A = this chain, B = another copy of it.
Amino acid sequence: MNCKPLKKEEHRKEMMAVQDSMDVLSGKWKIAIISSICYYNKRRFSDILNDVVGISNKMLSKELKELEINKLIKRTVLETQPITVQYELTKHGKSLQTIINNLTDWGIKHRKEIIGDSSETHINAEFETVTAEII
């Protein structure tokens, strides 16, 4: 988005590229998953399931598959008993760090901009726990 100096044609290509990135990252849980794996370096299915609060096994399976297709993570089956599976970031996956750091910084700026506050909760956090079953 260098805005001004670009010809329309180049602008179109830039937009496609951004969209490609977003397609890879914008799944509901992608970043949380990447972050979990990155934080622990190597991580197993059930561990990630615990790290990423709220995700179902179905979704985790699906998101991991997509991340693998996009070559961001590597999946390794360990011949333990019973079988365990290990996930880790590929080089390509690690190359996301800059992006994620920028998104982090901007997210903090944004929070201040919007609510002038750096409270605990995620801005769009859901509050199911509050509305929990009464009956």
Contacts and interface: CB of A to CB of B under 8 A. Distances in A.
Interface of A: 1-4, 6, 11, 14-26, 31-32, 34-35, 38-39, 41, 70-71, 92, 95-111, 113-114, 121-124
A78 to B, nearest CB: 22
Nearest to A118: B13
Contacts of A114: 70-71
Given A17-B104, A21-B104, A92-B110, 16 more contacts: A1-B34, A1-B101, A3-B39, A4-B39, A11-B35, A15-B31, A15-B35, A17-B105, A17-B107, A19-B32, A20-B107, A20-B122, A22-B31, A25-B26, A26-B26, A95-B106
23 contacts: A1-B97, A4-B39, A14-B104, A15-B31, A15-B35, A17-B111, A18-B31, A18-B35, A18-B103, A18-B104, A19-B32, A21-B103, A21-B104, A21-B110, A22-B31, A24-B110, A26-B26, A70-B110, A71-B113, A92-B110, A92-B113, A98-B106, A99-B106
